[in-house]
Amino acid sequence: MKNTLLLLSVLLLSSCYQSERNCTDFKTGKFYSESTTNGVLYTSEFIRTETLQIETYNNRVDSSEVRWINDCEVIFRTINPKNMAEQKDIHLKILTTTDSSYTYEYSYVGEVNKAKGTAYRK
């Protein structure tokens, strides 16, 4: 009985601290993003509509088709890939949101290794 009460208490307390996700607030708009991979900080700016994302990174502009799987997960497909890496679709999942930003994890579709970042509304 003690173990049941302890388990119930832990479940109730942990449910109070769930991260809020208002993903639909970030489906469209202008954003600035930061992501660290292997100790290197990468930044970019992008504009996202319901079906398109235009991103500026290292003075280079890339355009991707946007396909939402659900309110918090999206697949990006580069429109005019220049190499094999750009031919791979990217899966992004929004993990948490605030009123002006979201944290996310992303990877190439089908790959296990994921990177994390934060995007801020401009």
Domains of the chain, by residue range, sit at 20-121
CATH superfamily to which 20-121 belongs: Calycin beta-barrel core domain (2.40.128.20)
The pLDDT value given to residue 18: 58
Q: Could you count the other beta carbons within 10 Å of the beta carbon of residue 28?
A: 15
Strands 101-108 and 52-57, by their bridges, are unpaired
Percentage of the chain lying above the pLDDT 90 cut: 72
Distance CA 28, CA 46 (A): 10
Which helix (H) or strand (E) segment holds residue 52: the answer is strand 52-57
CA 57, 61, 67: angle at the middle one, nearest 5? Answer: 95
pLDDT band at 4 (very low <50, low <70, confident <90, very high): very low
H/E stretch holding 9 reads helix 2-15
